[in-house]
């Protein structure tokens, strides 16, 4: 693997969280690619787990940059697996692999600014409960199908119906909350005094973003069409 550049994360905890995020993405897609944007003392890693139709974002604080990263910011799409292999959790060092041809979603990232908080988001316990109830409903409906009806098309239809529902009084689809839970973004905060405002629902243009201390899930707002390729 030829390293494009090197980064040093702020601490071992940041490295472990980034490694866990990449590992979960690879669980859903062994050939996953991620887009990295480095700037402002942090690296943002974007991925798109195929089962959820959302964008997942993990932002990690940087301690500094290694030789080859240069003094400026950079933006590159790389293999998630190779990036995971380049993380040294003991030191926080990250070897960034060579660039790959990005998938279409990599050109359709949410805006960097202009986000505003919107009301109505339940607490994390309620969100986890909503995901658990939806999973239980899917299993019950799947088990109730006659053997001849238990096809991939029927299961996909049931899944789309359940996961396209919105959370409470918000516009956020349940699939975004499911993605946050599955990627480890809805786990309890490490500190008892963690700011509850760190978990919030934000909106900007045609996007919604579920923000937590461990990462964000971004999704296009209902009624605005499917993702289309556009420069960011």
d(CA 47, CA 183): 11
SS3 101: coil
Q: Could you tell me if 96 and 78 are in contact, meaning their C-beta atoms sit under 8 angstroms apart?
A: yes
What is the tally of structural domains in the chain?
2
DSSP 122: P
**CATH number, domain containing residue 55:** 3.10.150
d(CA 47, CA 139): 27
In tens, the pLDDT along 102-113 reads 899 999 899 989
Structural domain for 214, as ranges: 116-220
Query: How much is the pTM?
Result: 0.86
Do 123 and 95 reside in the same domain of the chain?
A: no
Do 103 and 181 reside in the same domain of the chain?
A: no
**pLDDT, averaged in runs of 10, over the chain (232 residues):** 71 94 95 94 94 93 59 83 95 93 91 94 94 96 94 94 95 96 85 65 96 95 44 29
Residue ranges of alpha helices (H) inside the chain are 12-28, 80-85, 124-144, 152-163, 174-182
SS3 105: helix
Sequence-distant (≥ 6) Cβ neighbours of residue 120 within 8 angstroms: 168, 169, 170, 201
The pLDDT assigned to 64 comes to: 59
């Amino acid at each position: 693997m030829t390293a494009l550049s090197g980064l040093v994360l702020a601490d071992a905890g940041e490295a472990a969280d980034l490694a866990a995020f990449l590992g979960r993405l690879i669980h859903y897609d062994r050939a996953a690619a991620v887009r990295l944007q480095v700037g402002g003392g942090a690296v943002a890693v974007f991925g798109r787990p195929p089962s959820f139709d959302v964008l997942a974002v993990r932002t990690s604080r940087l301690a500094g940059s290694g030789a080859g990263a240069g003094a400026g910011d950079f933006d590159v799409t790389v293999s998630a697996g190779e990036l995971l292999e380049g993380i040294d959790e003991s030191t926080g060092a990250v070897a960034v692999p060579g660039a790959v041809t990005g998938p279409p979603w990599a050109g359709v990232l949410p805006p960097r600014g202009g986000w505003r908080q919107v009301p109505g988001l339940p607490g994390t316990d309620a969100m986890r409960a909503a995901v658990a109830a939806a999973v239980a409903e899917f299993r019950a409906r799947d088990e109730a199908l006659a053997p001849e009806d238990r096809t991939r098309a029927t299961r996909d239809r049931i899944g789309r119906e359940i996961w396209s529902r919105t959370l409470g009084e918000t516009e956020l689809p349940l699939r975004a909350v499911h993605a946050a839970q599955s990627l480890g973004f809805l786990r309890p905060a490490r500190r008892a005094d963690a700011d509850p405002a760190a978990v919030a629902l934000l909106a900007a243009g045609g996007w919604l973003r579920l923000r937590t201390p461990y990462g964000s899930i971004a999704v296009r707002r209902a009624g605005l069409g499917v993702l289309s390729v556009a420069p960011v």
